[in-house]
Amino acid sequence: MNMIAENFTYLYHGFGIASDPFNILLMVIGILLGVIIGVLPGLGGANGVAILLPLTFSMSPTSAIILLTCIYWGALFGGAITSVLFNIPGEPWSVATTFDGHPMARSGRAGEALTAAFTSSFVGAFFAIVMITLIAPLVAQFALQFGPAEKFAVYFLAFASFVGMSKEPPAKTIVSMMIGFALAAVGLDMVTGQLRLTFGITELLNGFDFLIAVIGLFGIGEILLTMEEGLEFRGKAAKIDPRVVWKTWKTLPRFWMTSLRSCIIGCWMGITPAGATPASFMSYGIAKRMSKNGKNFGNGEIEGVVAPETAAHAAGTAAMLPMLALGVPGSPTAAVLLGGLLIWGLQPGPMLFVEQAEFVWGLIASMYLGNIVGLILVLTTVPLFASILRIPFSIIAPVILVICAIGAYTVNNNVFDVLMMMVFGVLGYLLKKTNYPLAPLVLAIVLGDSAEEAFRQALLYSGGSLTVFWSNGLVSSIMGLGVVAGLWPLIAILFSKLRGHSAQPA
């Protein structure tokens, strides 16, 4: 009980930090930038955070992370605007929202659909933030017992989860992850002092800068792909007035069971690195099966908007829990934020709650305030953001490319970084073109060095014996979960075959 009271005291002080006028201004700016990023197809939360990360270098870590997380919340909100009005998912997790959101807009209920989407997003995020407030300190305290073997086991579980839980074929996920590991290995080996994979290029002595890789892979890669597709925007206009908001809010409590179920699904998919996209589809599918109006899903059913939006925001927010408490990101955007924390000299993980309590609780408090600010802003500015899609993409794309180049150059004030950004951009384009996922690659770049260091330290401690990773109940349990997660596609096939055999008549 003492620990819970202490945590709420920290949270109270965190609200004092987050409610600073400058930080409130950053929340507003972050939400507005995020909604613009979410509205523009081809960008997205991870891309926007990566591109704008250099802007935060002159800020304090607390203000910087508040701005970046609010960009993320804004992008989550913004994806719903294009899905409902234009039938163009601004984000991958907004695809399920188009199924019922756009039919509602076509039938003249755009304001109702957007109000339901924004409110559901707020509910999902709020549920996840409460969970983070209550659980993250306990997870962090538990993780303080971890040695090198346990740390590697957690990294192994994260990597294996991406392999087994991803919607992409496991082989493609593994290939993408291996590319990330290779990129993470470039530079000076911190154990032996030898150079690796530099090929005589002196600029690579310190390896690839994480930020350059992310701006290229996400920002440039997405823009190249979007330019090739030649997007044209056509959609419905929308205006949200207080009468529509109030009418929709009176309707939403009827779907409390759908919201609660979607919150739980979203939080689970966010903590395990499955992500917001599968969470939104799973929640939509379950809602369709369990709703009394399930047969009408796809024709403009408001419950078909509530389910995916609640789950997507819950998953996107819950991904922050493993990033803060264990140093293992639960989503691509969390991976980018993890890289930002490392750049600012902060080491995410259990010690962050001990050494940087003010920062952590300021961030958690800003999540509460940021989502309230976000809900108010998006409800009042929908027509403005929808009008952005009237601008030809041929104008928007070059502007984004210039922003990416400036962001890459400002990292080290080096033209070589801009060239490497373009190389990573082409790599990101090719991977997306061939349907190789970028999230495992980013995860491997961010955690590759840390995982390698923990692995080698554990082997040094055990005299080179791999049994150290099964030497006690804790590390064995985590490694066992990792093996199950990695082999889950095979396990699922085996279960389905066994069910098929048992269902056959004797």
Assess if residue 502 is contained within a domain.
Answer: no
Print the domain residue range for 457.
1-496
> Does a structural domain hold residue 505?
no
Model pLDDT, residue 397: 74
Q: Which of 187-196, 310-319, 361-370 shows the lowest mean pLDDT across its residues?
A: 187-196
pLDDT at 178: 92
Inside any domain, residue 270: yes
Asked if residue 201 is part of any domain, the answer here is: yes
Residue in 253, 399, 309 with CA at minimum distance from that of residue 77? 309
pLDDT beyond 80 at 394: no
Segment 75-85, tens digit of pLDDT: 777 777 777 77
Note the residue count of the chain: 506
Q: Which two tokens stand for residue 489?
A: 């596609």
- Number of domains the chain is built from: 1
Q: What is the mean pLDDT of residues 216-223?
A: 75
* Residue 503 in this model has a pLDDT that exceeds 70: no
* 100 within a domain of the structure (yes/no): yes
Above 80 in pLDDT, residue 259? yes
Q: Mean pLDDT for the chain?
A: 78
Is residue 389 over pLDDT 60?
Answer: no
From residue 107, how far is each of 104, 119, 463 by CA, in Å?
5, 20, 69
- Report the pLDDT value the prediction gives residue 421, as an integer from 0 to 100: 86
The structure's pTM equals 0.67
Residue 413 lies in a domain: yes
Q: What is the average pLDDT across 279-303?
A: 78
Question: What integer is the mean pLDDT of 101-130?
Answer: 84
Distances 373 to 9, 203, 212, 249, 409 between C-alpha atoms, Å? 23, 43, 31, 18, 32
Mean local confidence (pLDDT), 419-433:
88
Share of the chain above pLDDT 90, in %: 1
Mean pLDDT of 91-98: 71
The b-or-e profile of 391-427 (16+ CB within 10 A means b, else e) is eebeebbeebbebbbebbbebeeeeebbebbbebbeb
Decide: helix, strand or coil at residue 195. Answer: strand
Average pLDDT over residues 331-354: 76
Examine residue 407 and state whether it is found in any structural domain, yes or no: yes
Residue 480 forms part of a structural domain: yes
| Three-state SS at 196 | strand
pLDDT of residue 213: 79
**Residue 273 pLDDT > 60, yes or no?**
no
